[in-house]
Amino acid sequence: MAIRISAPLLAIAFGAATPLAQAATAEPLALRCERLFDARAGRMLGPHTIVTRDGRIAEVRAGLADVPGTRAIDLAGHTCTPGWTDLHVHLGSESSPSSYEEEFRLDDVDFAFRSVGYAKKTLMAGFTSVRDLGGNVALHLRDAINQGLIDGPRIWAAGTSIATTGGHADPTNGYNSVLQHLIGPPGPTDGVVNSLDDARQAVRQRYKEGSDVIKITATGGVLSYAKSGDAPQFTVEEVKAVVDTAKDYGYRVAAHAHGKEGMKRAVLGGVTSIEHGTYMDNEVMDLMKQKGTWYVPTIYAGRFVAEKAKIDGYFPAVVRPKAERIGALIQQTAANAYKRGVKIAFGTDMGVGPHGDNAREFGYMVAAGIPAAYALQAATFHAAQVLGVDDQGVVEAGKRADIVAVPGDPLQDISTTSKVDFVMKDGVVYREPAAARAAGT
């Protein structure tokens, strides 16, 4: 059974950070932006002033205005965008050559302490919201952030992923027979299902544990200690059992999937999004368009594992050929999906690579032929649609005061997304250029 990491434990270890209550009492600010990205329309606007009060956007004015009763932050030369959302992260871990043995050697407490730094790096990189798709630590990390004990993005946490026996998220993959015997076969409580009743129980267990979203592993995976990276692992009926039960609790379902058949079953079963989608073909793409299914490519993770597969000893022998073969294909799949008209949202699978590098996905999307404006929409307006929320993802009056600013124009040079100068979440400023601070009045 997983150890539950309490928010007070994290508070004792790291000290109190910005309280959630501060958002409601945050000082009124006027952000004077040289450019403003309209995420709803996908276009760049000229100078605008964004007024924030009590954690919300109070007003958006054309031009650079002086607003009585506010402190001005001068973002000259900068483009302001809504706060970014990464729809696929794992804040409880980070890939390394020792990752596999650490699963046996470390406790959940160890991973929880690490996650605090990962969360702050993610926020400071401009990602004010994330969807954490698998890992017990994220539930407690979410709560600690919400209570203001530590700094980090807003988290939608899946908790334990739902798999089938031997599937990508079976927690006993790679264990020897002695350990398998001692532990016993994992069941729905552990996220392993083999029937419709199991599938329903697993979702209900995630509800009991406090998850915000459900994740299934519809096919094999790259980094799991198992041979297949793309074989289907659920029937359509099992996927439907998960999706229908999830709807009872207001949950949406994300499906990890590399292989075509597993993707088809997941889409037919009604999932909200397909993650990775490596072997997606035109048939699957057309089915996704018909069903309204979103695609979250995670190009960064594919490129990262393909590169690390060239290094002896970075991955176990059973993982290395999968990483080399599957990882290199995702960027082209994303290019094909965009051309085919599949709805795309932003996700990196960060935790596979170093946390804080999330913005590199923007560059990979643009290199795949996806316009920069669409890539920014994928991390803002589109991401909010995937999450099913309407209070973020755009810079409009009444929405959450989540704002990111980068130097220059990201539509002309997408690499500026890796040079974040300003981060605001719920009206609280976490990062601010020195020149802007000096200009405050």
Query: For residue 101, what pLDDT band results from cuts at 50, 70 and 90?
Result: low
Provide the mean pLDDT of the chain.
Answer: 87
Residue 62 burial (C-beta neighbours within 10 Å; 0-12, 13-18, 19+)? exposed
Are the C-beta atoms of 129 and 426 separated by less than 8 Å?
A: no
Query: For residue 18, what pLDDT band results from cuts at 50, 70 and 90?
Result: very low
- How far apart (Å, rounded) are the C-alpha atoms in residues 425 and 412? 26
Query: For residue 1, what pLDDT band results from cuts at 50, 70 and 90?
Result: very low
Question: In the predicted model, is pLDDT for residue 332 greater than 80?
Answer: yes
Query: For residue 314, what pLDDT band results from cuts at 50, 70 and 90?
Result: confident
- How far apart (Å, rounded) are the C-alpha atoms in residues 307 and 1? 35
Terminus-to-terminus CA distance in the chain, angstroms?
53
Instruction: Give residue-wise pLDDT tens across range 167-205.
Output: 665 555 555 454 555 555 667 787 798 999 999 999 999
Q: What is residue 20's predicted lDDT score, i.e. its pLDDT?
A: 45
Highest mean predicted confidence (pLDDT) among 111-120, 326-335, 411-420: 411-420
- How far apart (Å, rounded) are the C-alpha atoms in residues 252 and 242? 10
Question: What would the two tokens of residue 189 be?
Answer: 């409580």
Instruction: Give residue-wise pLDDT tens across range 243-286.
Output: 999 999 999 999 999 999 999 999 999 999 999 999 999 999 99
Question: In the predicted model, is pLDDT for residue 162 greater than 50?
Answer: yes
Number of alpha carbons in the 13 Å side-chain half-sphere of residue 407: 7
pTM for the whole structure: 0.90
Query: For residue 357, what pLDDT band results from cuts at 50, 70 and 90?
Result: very high
Q: What is residue 16's predicted lDDT score, i.e. its pLDDT?
A: 37
Are the C-beta atoms of 153 and 123 separated by less than 8 Å?
A: yes
Alpha carbon 284 to chain centroid distance? 23
- Identify any residues that bridge with 332 across adjacent strands, giving them in sequence order: none
Instruction: Give residue-wise pLDDT tens across range 362-399.
Output: 999 999 999 999 999 999 999 999 999 999 999 999 99
Angle at 243 between CA 165 and CA 335, to 5 degrees: 85
Please count the other Cβ atoms lying within 10 Å of the Cβ belonging to residue 171.
17
- How far apart (Å, rounded) are the C-alpha atoms in residues 91 and 436? 31
Share of the chain above pLDDT 90, in %: 70
* Lowest mean pLDDT, pick from 77-81, 193-197, 294-298, 434-438: 434-438
Query: Where exactly are the structural domains of the chain?
Result: 16-83+394-439, 84-387
- Tell me which CATH code domain 84-387 carries: 3.20.20.140
Q: What is residue 305's predicted lDDT score, i.e. its pLDDT?
A: 86
Residue 246 burial (C-beta neighbours within 10 Å; 0-12, 13-18, 19+)? buried
- How far apart (Å, rounded) are the C-alpha atoms in residues 186 and 193? 9
Higher pLDDT, 30 or 232: 30
Query: For residue 437, what pLDDT band results from cuts at 50, 70 and 90?
Result: low
3-state SS track over the chain = CCCCCCHHHHHHHHCCCCCCHHHHHCCCEEEEEEEEEECCCCEEECCEEEEEECCEEEEEEECCCCCCCCEEEEEEEEEEEECEEEEEECCCCCCCCCHHHHHHHCCHHHHHHHHHHHHHHHHHCCEEEEEECCCCHHHHHHHHHHCCCCCCCEEEECCCCEEECCCCCCCCCCCCHHHHHHHCCCCHHHCEECCHHHHHHHHHHHHHHCCCCEEEECECCCCCCCCCCCCECCCHHHHHHHHHHHHHCCCCEEEEECCHHHHHHHHHHCCCEEEECCCCCHHHHHHHHHHCCEEECCHHHHHHHHHHCCCCCCCCCCCHHHHHHHHCCHHHHHHHHHHHCCCECCCCCECCCCCCCCCHHHHHHHHCCCCHHHHHHHCCHHHHHHHCCCCCCCCCCCCECCEEEEECCCCCCHHHHHCCCEEEECCEEEECCHHHHHHCC
Q: Which CATH number fits domain 16-83+394-439: 2.102.10.10, 2.30.40.10, 2.50.20.10, 3.40.50.300?
A: 2.30.40.10
Q: Which residue has the tokens 């022998």?
A: 317
Question: What would the two tokens of residue 217 be?
Answer: 């592993």
Question: In the predicted model, is pLDDT for residue 349 greater than 50?
Answer: yes
Dihedral pair phi/psi, residue 113, rounded to 5°: -65, -40
Could you tell me whether strands 428-431 and 422-425 are parallel, antiparallel, or unpaired per DSSP bridges?
antiparallel
Instruction: Give residue-wise pLDDT tens across range 57-68.
Output: 999 999 999 999
Question: In the predicted model, is pLDDT for residue 53 greater than 70?
Answer: yes
Number of alpha carbons in the 13 Å side-chain half-sphere of residue 129: 25
Question: In the predicted model, is pLDDT for residue 118 greater than 80?
Answer: yes
Dihedral pair phi/psi, residue 145, rounded to 5°: -65, -45
Question: In the predicted model, is pLDDT for residue 98 greater than 80?
Answer: no
Q: What is residue 177's predicted lDDT score, i.e. its pLDDT?
A: 55
Q: What is residue 15's predicted lDDT score, i.e. its pLDDT?
A: 39
